[in-house]
Amino acid sequence: MKRIYLDHAATTPVDPAVVETMLPFFTEYFGNPSSVYTEGRGVKKSIEAARLQIAKAINADPREIYFTGSGSEADNWAIKGIAMKNQAKGKHIITSTIEHHAVLHTCEYLEKQGFEVTYLPVDEDGLISLDDLRNAIRKDTILVTIMFANNEIGTVEPIKEIGEIVKEKGIIFHTDAVQALGNIPVDVKDLNVDLLSISAHKIYGPKGIGALFIRKGVPIDNLIHGGAQERKKRAGTENTAEIVAFGKAAEMATEHLAENAAHMKKLRDLLIKGVMDNIPQVRLNGHPEKRLPGNANFCFDYIEGESILLSLDIIGIAGSSGSACTSGSLDPSHVLLAIGLPAGVAHGSLRLTIGKHTTAEDINYVVDNLIQIIERLRKMSPINADCPIDDAVFDKAAHHHH
Amino acid sequence: MEYTDVVMENFTCPKHVGEIEDANGVGQVGSPACGDIMKIFLKINGDGVIEDASFKTFGCGAAVASSSMATDMIIGKTIEEAGKFKNSDVVDALGGLPAEKIHCSVLAAEAIQAAIEDYHKNKA
Ligand SMILES: Cc1ncc(COP(=O)(O)O)c(C=O)c1O
Ligand code: FES
């Protein structure tokens, strides 16, 4: 059966051109980039070429790009590295309630180490308020970390405006741009950011390679200690093949940004319209306009997300959900709760994220089938408009965890 | 997480979905773990035998499959027999459930007990 992959926010297939670029680095160009002989020097050059490709993709200087083992590592490094280095100045950090766990759990860890963290709330569309940010800034605030674009609901935060406010106060500003790269323009000079995390596997590159942009002069401690790689800032023999792959993927993403984004946006709007026009009792999560071009996130009343995912999977469609039942921890998505959805509504969430290879036929197939799936699951559900959900059950469930 | 073929069959083509108009025992329970809801309808005859059973479920694949399997298993049983019905009976019949999905089968067992209780209450 033909598969329709609509989970590009989770990961993307590696582009064949990227695969081609990386393969010789497993065999022919296997040398250790730290070695002084020919095999080493050649590989070192390729890494530096990839660094330049990444730098160009975000309008940075190549000396400001540091490769990491993932987007999560870049987030960890940015936050822990700034906190450790600057704790004499203060121990207060500002973030938002809808960050990726790589940021949230790092902040929670720092709280245990004696740091104080303010988690800015978001409105029903998932946007933070600049006034809230201004009010949260204190004399001892050392870091503000707010994501560029949310991985679940696709909302794009006002990073440039946040950057202006934070810069004026002389505070360090980090943004997790893992979902932004390849989808919307990312320009570190324009955005006033000091640190920015990216990851290759969201832009048709391989998994397990990321990068952290660190503006020149920003005081930061190391996270990974050891050898002198990455100009003594991140130890570990370089993941050469994936670094060159990431470089290639970033170059392609930048080159085709406008056309890819336009393509995804067209299909996203087709999907949103198809669902909203044909399925009753549905809501679109995330900001209606300020959202990633490939992201659609819905909540269908009275039904549960894992049931939707399984039903879609059977007919060849891959999507994801923020339902408690799909989370492993049995907690509903913190992002859906943060935009004010009751746990029972978050239960019926479905995220479909479009990629550069998605077609209009794919979308039409999904909409047609989704109409039937939702209808079937609703017929099976004990709750409906006349028999609404007993919120007490969900309160009890929430209580059970916290 | 991996569902068995039996779970997937019971999820895709669940048996006994819907309401029984003249049910004389109805039980609804919510899961304290994830918040899901299951409702079981029983039609019990004068001899105390479950003639028919059906369900409505707001929950995951395992919850739907557990409801389908559980209702199928108790049809034809006396209420005494059904009263001893445990969630492990459903899990076994489904060929197992992932560890984090065991609570979904508990929901089915509890909904059945709630429906039997309701039947006793209605009779009294
Ligand atoms: C917003 C965001 N930040 C961080 C990450 C983590 O990136 P990685 O999977 O490379 O660790 C992801 C993706 O999973 C993400 O969507
Ligand atoms: S019913 Fe929620 S996890 Fe199964």
Structural domain includes residue B75: yes
How many angstroms separate the CA atoms of B73 and A21, rounded?
57
Helices (H), B13-78: 61-74
pLDDT at A402: 40
Contact by Cβ (8 Å): A163, A294: no
DSSP state at residue B1: -
The domain over range A257-379 is classified in CATH as 1.20.120.1200: no
Q: Are B58 and B50 in contact (CB under 8 A)?
A: no
Q: Which of B1, B58, B104 sits opposite A303 (nearest CB)?
A: B58
The catalytic position among B79, B104, B108, B109 is B104
- How far apart are the CA of B18 and the nearest CA of chain A, in angstroms? 6
Structure tokens at A377: 């699951």
**What is the Å distance from ligand 1's center to A71 Cα?**
5
Residue B77 clears pLDDT 80, i.e. is over it: yes
* Record: fold of A16-255: Aspartate Aminotransferase; domain 2 (3.40.640)
When divided into structural domains, chain B yields a total of 1
ipTM of predicted complex: 0.94
The structural domains of chain A, with segments of one domain joined by +, span 16-255, 257-379
Asked whether this chain's domains A16-255 and A257-379 adopt the same fold, the reply is no
Determine the residue of A325, A329, A383, A393 to mutate for testing ligand 2's pocket, defined as the one with the most ligand atoms within 8 A of the Cβ atom. A325
User: Among B22-36, B61-75, B77-91, whose mean pLDDT is lowest?
Assistant: B22-36
Give the integer Cα–Cα distance in Å for B96 and B92: 6
Please report, for residues A90, A240, B119, the alpha-carbon distance to residue A95 in angstroms, rounded to integers and kept in the order given: 15, 33, 53
Tokens 């006994």, located at residue? B16
Please report the pLDDT score of residue A195 as a whole number.
98
- Give residue B22's domain range: 5-118
> Rounded to two decimals, what is the model's pTM?
0.95
Catalytic entry in B15, B24, B28, B34: B34
> Over 90: is that where the pLDDT of B55 sits?
yes
Q: Going by DSSP bridges, is the β-strand pair A172-176/A295-300 parallel, antiparallel, or unpaired?
A: unpaired
Computed on alpha carbons and rounded to an integer, the radius of gyration of chain A in Å comes to 22
**Environment class of residue A137 by beta-carbon count within 10 Å: exposed (0-12), middle (13-18) or buried (19+)?**
middle
Residue B15 within a domain: yes
* Contact in structure between A174 and A78 (CB atoms under 8 Å): yes
Please state, in angstroms and rounded to a whole number, the distance separating the CA atoms of residues A62 and A66.
9
User: CB-based burial of residue A170 (10 Å sphere; 0-12 exposed, 13-18 middle, 19+ buried)?
Assistant: exposed
A229 lines ligand 1 (CB under 6 A): no
Tell me, yes or no, if B104 is annotated catalytic: yes
Average pLDDT over residues B65-94: 96
Contact A342, A391 (CB under 8 A): yes
The pLDDT assigned to B124 comes to 80
Q: Does A387 touch chain B (CB under 8 A)?
A: no
Distance, first Cα to last Cα, chain A: 43
A314 and B59 within 8 Å at the Cβ level: the answer is no
**CATH number of the domain that B18 lies in?**
3.90.1010.10
A179 lines ligand 1 (CB under 6 A): yes
Alpha carbons A353 and A5: distance in angstroms, whole number: 8
Query: Which ligand 1 atom is the nearest neighbour of the CA of A99?
Result: 1
Tokens matching residue A210:
């990321």
| Residue B123 included in any domain | no
From the list A316, A271, A324, A317, the residue with the least C-alpha distance to A298 is A271
Closest Cα of chain B to A373: distance in Å? 11
CB contact under 8 Å between B34 and A325, yes or no, is yes
Q: Which chain B residues in 52-71 lie under 8 Å from chain A, judged by CB atoms?
A: 56-61, 63-64
Interatomic CA distance for residues A40 and B14, integer angstroms = 61
List the single residue in B30, B60, B100 with the smallest CB-CB distance to A307: B60
- pLDDT number for residue A391: 63
Is A118 a pocket residue for ligand 1 (Cβ < 6 Å)?
no
Q: What is the pLDDT of residue A397?
A: 58
What is the full per-residue pLDDT of chain A (402 aa) written as tens digits? 899 999 999 999 999 999 999 999 999 999 999 999 998 999 999 999 999 999 999 999 999 999 999 999 999 999 999 999 999 999 999 999 999 999 999 999 999 999 999 999 999 999 999 999 999 999 999 999 999 999 999 999 999 999 999 999 999 999 999 999 999 999 999 999 999 999 999 999 999 999 999 999 999 999 999 999 999 999 999 999 999 999 999 999 999 999 999 999 999 999 999 999 999 999 999 999 999 999 999 999 999 999 999 999 999 999 999 988 888 778 899 999 999 999 889 999 999 999 999 999 999 999 999 999 999 999 999 988 888 776 656 655 555 444
The pLDDT of residue A401: 44
- 3-state class (DSSP) for residue A315: coil
> Residue B34: pLDDT band by 50, 70, 90 thresholds?
confident
Q: Is the CB of A257 under 6 A from ligand 1?
A: no
The pLDDT assigned to A387 comes to 80
